[in-house]
Amino acid sequence: MTKKKKWMKSGIMVVLASSILISGCGVKKEGEASDSALSSTSSGKELPPYAVTMAFYGNDQKDMQTVQVEMNNILKEKINASVNLTPISISAWQQQTNLMLAGNEKIELMITSTGFNYATHVAKGQLHPLDELIEKYGSGIKGSSGAFPTG
């Protein structure tokens, strides 16, 4: 698979994940239409703007800005959102993410695992489960990505 295809695939996954997270950010007030009714009648321009920060390990790529611009074009049109891709070198990952999370920097999406202090972040309340959001808003994602791990 070429690098361009890998970036496009990664970009699509970020857009899908961002869509799930952003769709769960609204507050339903009494008397308003349901979320599903709202999403089927709204264009992205009617929604308040929202910026998503995604931290991932890797180095800055020469075409990352182009990918980010294209992702933002799609997100702006669909849900009035933008994404800020934040690559962090693998050697600096633990220190940088610890500083970002401890400093309450805005990070909606990040890569994590047991090797990257997952349990510590959960214990500190720095990571939140997506189960309910995926169940409520992610039927398309669940169907396209296969079974999610449980436990």
**pLDDT tens string 33-83:** 344 433 444 556 688 899 999 999 888 888 999 999 999 999 999 889 999
In the 3-class helix/strand/coil scheme, how is 68-85 assigned residue by residue?
HHHHHHHHHHHHCEEEEE
Q: Which fold has domain 46-140?
A: D-Maltodextrin-Binding Protein; domain 2 (3.40.190)
pLDDT digits (tens, 9 = 90+) for 121-134: 889 888 888 888 88
End-to-end CA distance of the chain: 33
d(CA 1, CA 10): 12
d(CA 56, CA 43): 29
Spans of all domains in the chain: 46-140
